[in-house]
Amino acid sequence: MATSSLSVDNPLNRRLWPAVNGWTLVQVGLALLLALPLMTVVASWLWPRPETWQHLADTVLADYILNSLGLVMGVSIGVLLLGPVPAWLVTMYRFPASRQLEWALLLPLAMPAYIIAYTYTGLLDVGGPVQSFIRDSLGYSYGDYWFPPIRSLGGAIVMLSLVLYPYVYLLTRTAFIEQSVCVLEVARTLGLSPARRFLRVALPLARPAIIAGLSLVLMETLADYGTVQYFGVSVFTTGIFRTWFGLADGLAAAQLATLLLVFIVVLIGLEQHSRRAARYHHTSNRYAAIVAQRLYGWRAAVAFTVCAVPVVFGFLLPAGLLLNWAIDSWPRIDQAGFLRLMGHSLGLAVFTAVLAVALALFFAYGRRLYDNIGTRLSVRFVGLGYAIPGTVIAVGALLPFAWFDNALDTWLRAQFGISSGLLLSGSLFTLVFAYLVRFLAVSTNTIEAGLAKIRPSMDEAARSMGLQRWAVLRRVHMPMLRGTLLTALLLVFVDVLKELPATLLLRPFNFNTLAVRTYELANDERLYEAACSALAIVAVGIIPVIILSRIISQSRPGHDGEA
């Protein structure tokens, strides 16, 4: 971000805004507060729990590690099969529905993994229509035939691959769009076939983007709770819940969460390495519009099939089933209760999104004004949250707030004979705080990118006209950032609406959301009744898909040219 003329190294800024200033101090303080869950889970090792750990080591710890590794490896293979090839086809070729598939391939992002797991279970489980049709048509009874179990590690791998491959598709397609056509033309003149140009030229050049997308997929995989819990797969996220509620040991749950963080730290390091490697991505300064080649006959049919299969199984089929179930079950559900859940979810998501955008604007603008180590580190700290699973954040937030509530209650009882109850840990405060820790990075990164497009000379011109820094933000930046702020607001809104593990752990008593109610009904095998709330989440989740598809389509003018 070009902010050198506004940094504290500028003599004018040193006179106007000293290097040690209240803005930076407040920003650093807020960043440390938001880092409290992470510091809590790391500090939990100061209170060893040898008995609990001995029990875990003797019983389930090996399963947590092996299943987590198996899940990571399986999902890696799945998304690498589903992501790069469709990205190449819709970028470089034209075939029936290719333009529609460009954005449709992002639709599975709107389908939370736990919802697609519930949907396919209703379709493929023993009592579902597929196995019922097999038994009725062939005269079989249960146990007379083999059918792949949906509730298994393999089933979880397939479900997560179907909804997470768009991360790889999105970044890989962006890399293909940005690659110089000149390089591909040179490869063609050397006699390389289209398949070899893809495998030997385009794919290696896009490798940093693929690795970056894969690291995002694997962080989401390790953060998943609803899918693996419903399928009965023992991984770290389910183990944290069991240790907390089953063994009633919050400290051991926090310590178990740190082992999950080790996996996350490795993935973050891999992603940062891929960013450093991305400097080799641009192989030429000469660019030309991509002229997509028209495919005909069986080649067009193959390309269409390869691109359509992930969309059909990752979105259209489960969404169609949910819609059918929702229509069938709507007359029988508690409609007033559903609307109340909708109100809880939307109100919580709107409040958190507005607060997240306000904080993100404060952090991003503070770094623009004072580009010092304090503001840089604070932005980096708040950016860590998105990489931390909701389960870990929930444990890290609940422990200190519960300690504060208990300490305050004990003191009030001793001094005044009154009880304060659970002021923080039993309220929406802790839940909103966890949401902010988890999703503030989304709004901060979005707003930072928007601010980077505003020239520092505009700030200087506004300052020369007598505007103070808040006035510059209000009268210059915010009108120019209107679209960026709305995008950040919508992205956080949808993420909060879909979040499950943090909501399960931190919601107040007798307070439900659409995500929690969907989880509860599915766990009770009431899949039809869960369809309405699940469908509402999916419908709202389409919003960021539309935003992402517009961004990627505008990333390089002229890329949609046709042969």
Whole-angstrom CA distances from 225 to 85, 291, 481 are 29, 43, 35
User: Residue 480: what pLDDT?
Assistant: 80
Whole-angstrom CA distances from 29 to 26, 34, 35, 381 are 5, 9, 10, 11
Sheet holding 291-294, edge to edge: 93-94, 291-294, 561-562
pLDDT along the chain (563 residues), means of 10: 42 45 85 90 89 91 93 94 91 88 89 92 88 86 85 94 92 76 61 69 77 85 91 92 86 88 76 58 51 85 94 94 91 86 91 93 85 82 80 89 89 86 84 92 82 76 75 77 82 88 88 90 86 90 77 52 41
According to DSSP H, which parts of 83-206 are helical? Answer: 84-92, 98-104, 113-124, 129-138, 153-178, 181-189, 194-197, 203-205
Percentages helix, strand, coil for the chain (3-state, rounded to 5) are 75, 0, 20
For residue 294, the cross-strand partners are: 94
- Residue 292, helix vs strand vs coil: strand
User: Residue 1: what pLDDT?
Assistant: 38
- Residue 105, helix vs strand vs coil: coil
User: Residue 92: what pLDDT?
Assistant: 84
55 CB-near residues (< 8 Å, 6+ apart): 247
User: Residue 281: what pLDDT?
Assistant: 44
Question: Alpha-carbon torsion 212, 275, 544, 391, what sign?
Answer: positive
Angle, vertex CA 236, rays to CA 231 and CA 241, nearest 5: 80
Which residue ranges make up each domain of the chain? Answer: 318-369+389-406+420-553
Radius of gyration of the chain from its Cα atoms, rounded to whole angstroms: 26
Query: Can you give the length of the chain in residues?
Result: 563
User: Residue 319: what pLDDT?
Assistant: 93
Residue 403's H or E segment, with its range, is helix 390-416
User: Which fold would CATH assign to domain 318-369+389-406+420-553?
Assistant: MetI-like fold (1.10.3720)
User: Residue 153: what pLDDT?
Assistant: 95
Angle, vertex CA 426, rays to CA 421 and CA 428, nearest 5: 135
171 touches 210 (CB < 8 A): yes
Strands (E), 106-243: none
Owner of token pair 């508690």: 334
291-294 vs 561-562, strand pairing mode: parallel
User: Residue 18: what pLDDT?
Assistant: 45
User: Residue 181: what pLDDT?
Assistant: 59
Strands (E), 99-145: none
HSE at residue 8, side-chain half, CA atoms within 13 A, is 16
390 touches 502 (CB < 8 A): yes
Surface-to-core class of residue 296, CB atoms within 10 Å of its CB (0-12 exposed, 13-18 middle, 19+ buried): exposed
CA distance 67 to 241: 16
CA distance 166 to 68: 21
